[in-house]
Amino acid sequence: MEPEEYESIYRLEESHWWYRGMREMALALLDRYLPQRDKLTVLDAGCGTGGMMGALGKYGWVYGLDFSLLALGFCRKRSIRSAVRASVTHIPYPSERFDLATSFEVLYHAGVGNDVQALKEIHRVLRPGGYFLLRLPAFEFLRGAHDQMVHTRHRYTAGEVGEKLAATGFEVVRLSYANSLLFPVAAASRLAERISRRAGTAQSDVQEASPLVNRALLGVLRAESVVLRTIDLPVGLSVLALARKR
Protein backbone atom coordinates (compact mmCIF):
# COMPACT_ATOMS: atom_id res chain seq x y z
CA MET A 1 0.00 0.00 0.00
CA GLU A 2 1.24 3.49 -0.78
CA PRO A 3 2.47 5.32 2.38
CA GLU A 4 -0.05 8.15 2.04
CA GLU A 5 -2.88 5.64 2.19
CA TYR A 6 -1.96 4.73 5.77
CA GLU A 7 -2.16 8.40 6.69
CA SER A 8 -5.63 8.65 5.11
CA ILE A 9 -6.84 5.54 6.90
CA TYR A 10 -5.55 6.75 10.25
CA ARG A 11 -7.16 10.14 9.77
CA LEU A 12 -10.55 8.90 8.56
CA GLU A 13 -10.98 5.46 10.17
CA GLU A 14 -13.10 6.69 13.06
CA SER A 15 -15.42 8.94 11.04
CA HIS A 16 -15.61 7.84 7.39
CA TRP A 17 -18.85 6.12 6.40
CA TRP A 18 -17.14 3.10 4.84
CA TYR A 19 -14.92 2.34 7.82
CA ARG A 20 -17.66 2.93 10.37
CA GLY A 21 -20.31 1.02 8.42
CA MET A 22 -18.17 -2.01 7.65
CA ARG A 23 -16.90 -2.08 11.23
CA GLU A 24 -20.45 -2.07 12.60
CA MET A 25 -21.42 -4.78 10.11
CA ALA A 26 -18.58 -7.01 11.30
CA LEU A 27 -19.40 -6.48 14.97
CA ALA A 28 -23.10 -7.20 14.38
CA LEU A 29 -22.21 -10.55 12.85
CA LEU A 30 -19.84 -11.42 15.69
CA ASP A 31 -22.42 -10.40 18.30
CA ARG A 32 -24.88 -12.85 16.83
CA TYR A 33 -22.59 -15.88 16.61
CA LEU A 34 -20.03 -15.64 19.39
CA PRO A 35 -21.09 -17.96 22.22
CA GLN A 36 -19.23 -15.74 24.69
CA ARG A 37 -18.81 -12.00 24.18
CA ASP A 38 -16.10 -11.03 26.63
CA LYS A 39 -12.85 -12.35 28.10
CA LEU A 40 -11.83 -13.77 24.73
CA THR A 41 -8.32 -13.72 23.32
CA VAL A 42 -8.51 -12.04 19.91
CA LEU A 43 -6.08 -11.70 17.00
CA ASP A 44 -6.50 -9.05 14.30
CA ALA A 45 -4.31 -10.45 11.52
CA GLY A 46 -3.25 -7.46 9.45
CA CYS A 47 -4.33 -4.78 11.91
CA GLY A 48 -3.24 -1.77 9.83
CA THR A 49 -3.44 1.47 11.79
CA GLY A 50 -5.30 -0.25 14.64
CA GLY A 51 -8.82 1.13 14.30
CA MET A 52 -10.48 -2.27 14.35
CA MET A 53 -8.46 -3.43 17.35
CA GLY A 54 -10.16 -0.83 19.52
CA ALA A 55 -13.60 -2.00 18.40
CA LEU A 56 -12.71 -5.65 19.05
CA GLY A 57 -11.74 -4.78 22.61
CA LYS A 58 -15.35 -5.36 23.70
CA TYR A 59 -14.69 -9.11 23.34
CA GLY A 60 -11.55 -9.31 25.45
CA TRP A 61 -7.81 -8.84 25.04
CA VAL A 62 -6.82 -8.01 21.46
CA TYR A 63 -3.49 -8.68 19.78
CA GLY A 64 -2.57 -7.37 16.36
CA LEU A 65 0.04 -7.98 13.73
CA ASP A 66 1.02 -6.16 10.58
CA PHE A 67 4.07 -6.28 8.34
CA SER A 68 4.15 -2.52 7.79
CA LEU A 69 6.22 -0.50 10.24
CA LEU A 70 4.33 2.58 9.11
CA ALA A 71 1.01 0.97 10.07
CA LEU A 72 2.42 -0.07 13.45
CA GLY A 73 3.59 3.48 14.00
CA PHE A 74 -0.01 4.65 13.69
CA CYS A 75 -1.02 1.92 16.15
CA ARG A 76 1.40 3.46 18.63
CA LYS A 77 -0.27 6.83 18.08
CA ARG A 78 -3.50 5.15 19.21
CA SER A 79 -1.62 3.91 22.31
CA ILE A 80 -1.88 0.30 21.08
CA ARG A 81 1.04 -1.72 22.43
CA SER A 82 -0.17 -5.25 21.64
CA ALA A 83 0.53 -5.10 17.88
CA VAL A 84 3.70 -6.70 16.52
CA ARG A 85 5.46 -6.75 13.17
CA ALA A 86 4.81 -10.06 11.43
CA SER A 87 3.38 -11.59 8.28
CA VAL A 88 0.00 -13.32 8.17
CA THR A 89 1.80 -16.26 6.53
CA HIS A 90 4.10 -16.69 9.57
CA ILE A 91 2.17 -15.78 12.71
CA PRO A 92 4.49 -15.59 15.75
CA TYR A 93 2.11 -17.16 18.26
CA PRO A 94 1.75 -20.74 19.49
CA SER A 95 -0.95 -23.06 18.20
CA GLU A 96 -4.45 -22.80 19.71
CA ARG A 97 -3.69 -19.42 21.27
CA PHE A 98 -6.81 -17.43 20.26
CA ASP A 99 -10.59 -17.72 20.65
CA LEU A 100 -11.31 -15.32 17.78
CA ALA A 101 -9.34 -14.14 14.75
CA THR A 102 -10.20 -11.45 12.25
CA SER A 103 -8.64 -10.31 8.99
CA PHE A 104 -10.10 -7.34 7.15
CA GLU A 105 -8.89 -6.43 3.64
CA VAL A 106 -5.51 -8.15 4.08
CA LEU A 107 -5.17 -11.47 2.22
CA TYR A 108 -5.89 -9.81 -1.13
CA HIS A 109 -2.67 -7.77 -0.88
CA ALA A 110 0.33 -8.19 -3.19
CA GLY A 111 2.49 -8.57 -0.09
CA VAL A 112 0.63 -11.78 0.84
CA GLY A 113 2.06 -14.19 -1.68
CA ASN A 114 0.10 -17.22 -0.48
CA ASP A 115 -3.41 -16.69 0.89
CA VAL A 116 -3.85 -20.42 1.59
CA GLN A 117 -0.75 -20.41 3.80
CA ALA A 118 -2.16 -17.39 5.65
CA LEU A 119 -5.46 -19.22 6.24
CA LYS A 120 -3.54 -22.27 7.51
CA GLU A 121 -1.66 -20.07 9.97
CA ILE A 122 -4.84 -18.46 11.24
CA HIS A 123 -6.41 -21.91 11.59
CA ARG A 124 -3.34 -23.09 13.53
CA VAL A 125 -3.44 -20.31 16.12
CA LEU A 126 -7.19 -20.67 16.78
CA ARG A 127 -8.47 -22.90 19.54
CA PRO A 128 -10.89 -25.69 18.52
CA GLY A 129 -14.30 -24.09 18.11
CA GLY A 130 -12.73 -20.66 17.65
CA TYR A 131 -14.22 -18.26 15.12
CA PHE A 132 -12.60 -16.44 12.22
CA LEU A 133 -14.13 -13.39 10.50
CA LEU A 134 -12.67 -12.58 7.08
CA ARG A 135 -13.38 -9.73 4.65
CA LEU A 136 -11.91 -9.36 1.17
CA PRO A 137 -12.59 -7.20 -1.92
CA ALA A 138 -14.94 -8.82 -4.43
CA PHE A 139 -14.85 -9.47 -8.18
CA GLU A 140 -11.86 -8.92 -10.43
CA PHE A 141 -13.98 -6.90 -12.85
CA LEU A 142 -14.24 -4.23 -10.12
CA ARG A 143 -10.48 -3.71 -10.15
CA GLY A 144 -9.68 -0.01 -10.57
CA ALA A 145 -7.46 2.89 -9.61
CA HIS A 146 -7.94 2.23 -5.88
CA ASP A 147 -6.55 -1.29 -6.31
CA GLN A 148 -3.44 0.22 -7.83
CA MET A 149 -3.10 2.48 -4.80
CA VAL A 150 -3.42 -0.32 -2.24
CA HIS A 151 -1.45 -2.93 -4.22
CA THR A 152 -4.26 -5.41 -4.80
CA ARG A 153 -3.07 -8.85 -5.89
CA HIS A 154 -6.51 -10.40 -6.31
CA ARG A 155 -10.22 -9.72 -5.83
CA TYR A 156 -12.34 -12.69 -4.76
CA THR A 157 -15.69 -14.35 -5.28
CA ALA A 158 -17.66 -15.77 -2.36
CA GLY A 159 -17.36 -19.28 -3.81
CA GLU A 160 -13.59 -18.98 -4.01
CA VAL A 161 -13.35 -17.81 -0.40
CA GLY A 162 -15.59 -20.67 0.76
CA GLU A 163 -13.45 -23.24 -1.04
CA LYS A 164 -10.21 -21.89 0.44
CA LEU A 165 -11.65 -21.85 3.96
CA ALA A 166 -12.92 -25.43 3.66
CA ALA A 167 -9.60 -26.60 2.21
CA THR A 168 -7.71 -25.21 5.20
CA GLY A 169 -9.89 -26.93 7.79
CA PHE A 170 -12.56 -24.33 8.54
CA GLU A 171 -16.30 -24.90 8.76
CA VAL A 172 -18.02 -22.03 6.97
CA VAL A 173 -20.78 -20.58 9.15
CA ARG A 174 -21.73 -17.57 7.00
CA LEU A 175 -20.59 -16.57 3.53
CA SER A 176 -22.01 -13.44 1.96
CA TYR A 177 -21.25 -10.42 -0.14
CA ALA A 178 -21.35 -7.05 1.62
CA ASN A 179 -21.74 -3.42 0.64
CA SER A 180 -24.37 -4.59 -1.82
CA LEU A 181 -26.65 -1.56 -2.11
CA LEU A 182 -23.81 0.53 -3.51
CA PHE A 183 -22.66 -2.19 -5.91
CA PRO A 184 -24.31 -0.70 -9.05
CA VAL A 185 -22.76 2.71 -8.39
CA ALA A 186 -19.29 1.21 -7.91
CA ALA A 187 -19.60 -1.01 -10.99
CA ALA A 188 -20.55 2.02 -13.09
CA SER A 189 -17.63 3.99 -11.66
CA ARG A 190 -15.16 1.24 -12.55
CA LEU A 191 -16.56 1.09 -16.08
CA ALA A 192 -16.12 4.85 -16.39
CA GLU A 193 -12.50 4.48 -15.24
CA ARG A 194 -11.82 1.97 -17.99
CA ILE A 195 -13.45 4.11 -20.65
CA SER A 196 -11.37 7.10 -19.58
CA ARG A 197 -8.28 4.86 -19.13
CA ARG A 198 -7.79 5.93 -15.51
CA ALA A 199 -7.90 2.38 -14.06
CA GLY A 200 -4.12 2.02 -14.22
CA THR A 201 -3.50 5.25 -12.30
CA ALA A 202 -3.17 4.90 -8.54
CA GLN A 203 -5.94 6.85 -6.84
CA SER A 204 -7.51 6.19 -3.47
CA ASP A 205 -11.24 5.76 -2.86
CA VAL A 206 -10.63 6.89 0.72
CA GLN A 207 -11.74 10.50 0.43
CA GLU A 208 -13.34 12.71 3.04
CA ALA A 209 -17.06 13.18 2.34
CA SER A 210 -19.34 16.04 3.32
CA PRO A 211 -21.23 15.45 6.60
CA LEU A 212 -24.51 14.98 4.72
CA VAL A 213 -23.11 12.42 2.28
CA ASN A 214 -21.21 10.67 5.08
CA ARG A 215 -24.40 10.26 7.16
CA ALA A 216 -26.43 9.07 4.17
CA LEU A 217 -23.92 6.42 3.09
CA LEU A 218 -23.40 5.27 6.68
CA GLY A 219 -27.16 4.83 6.89
CA VAL A 220 -27.08 2.62 3.79
CA LEU A 221 -24.47 0.31 5.35
CA ARG A 222 -26.32 0.23 8.66
CA ALA A 223 -29.51 -0.85 6.90
CA GLU A 224 -27.60 -3.57 5.11
CA SER A 225 -26.05 -4.68 8.39
CA VAL A 226 -29.52 -5.46 9.77
CA VAL A 227 -30.31 -7.64 6.76
CA LEU A 228 -26.93 -9.37 6.86
CA ARG A 229 -27.50 -10.64 10.39
CA THR A 230 -29.83 -13.29 8.97
CA ILE A 231 -29.57 -13.27 5.16
CA ASP A 232 -26.56 -13.83 2.88
CA LEU A 233 -26.42 -11.26 0.10
CA PRO A 234 -25.89 -12.39 -3.53
CA VAL A 235 -23.62 -9.59 -4.73
CA GLY A 236 -21.52 -6.78 -3.28
CA LEU A 237 -18.22 -4.96 -3.21
CA SER A 238 -16.76 -7.20 -0.51
CA VAL A 239 -16.85 -10.85 0.51
CA LEU A 240 -17.60 -11.44 4.20
CA ALA A 241 -17.09 -14.89 5.72
CA LEU A 242 -17.51 -16.21 9.24
CA ALA A 243 -15.88 -19.58 9.80
CA ARG A 244 -15.18 -21.87 12.75
CA LYS A 245 -12.30 -24.20 13.52
CA ARG A 246 -13.71 -27.70 13.79
When divided into structural domains, the chain yields a total of 1
Residue 110 pLDDT class (50, 70, 90 cuts):
very high
For the purposes of burial, counting CB atoms within 10 Å of the CB of 162, is it exposed (0-12), middle (13-18) or buried (19 or more)?
Answer: middle
What number is the average pLDDT over the span 153-161?
A: 97
pLDDT of residue 190: 84
- At 2-53, the pLDDT tens digits run 788 899 999 999 999 999 999 999 999 999 999 878 899 999 999 999 999 9
Whether the pLDDT of residue 199 is over 90: the answer is no
Whether the pLDDT of residue 200 is over 90: the answer is no
What number is the average pLDDT over the span 236-243?
A: 97
| pLDDT, averaged across the chain | 93
- At 124-149, the pLDDT tens digits run 999 999 999 999 999 999 998 889 88
Model pTM above 0.85: yes
Tell me what percent of the residues of the chain surpass a pLDDT of 90.
Answer: 83
Indicate the DSSP class of residue 127: E
Q: What is the 3-state secondary structure (H, E, C) of 50-98?
A: CHHHHHHHHHEEEEEEECCHHHHHHHHHCCCCCEEECECCECCCCCCCE
Q: Which of 203, 118, 226, 210 is nearest to 165 (CA)?
A: 118
More confident residue, 35 or 101: 101
CATH number at residue 180: 3.40.50.150
pLDDT of residue 131: 97
Whether the pLDDT of residue 163 is over 60: the answer is yes
Residue 127: domain span: 3-245
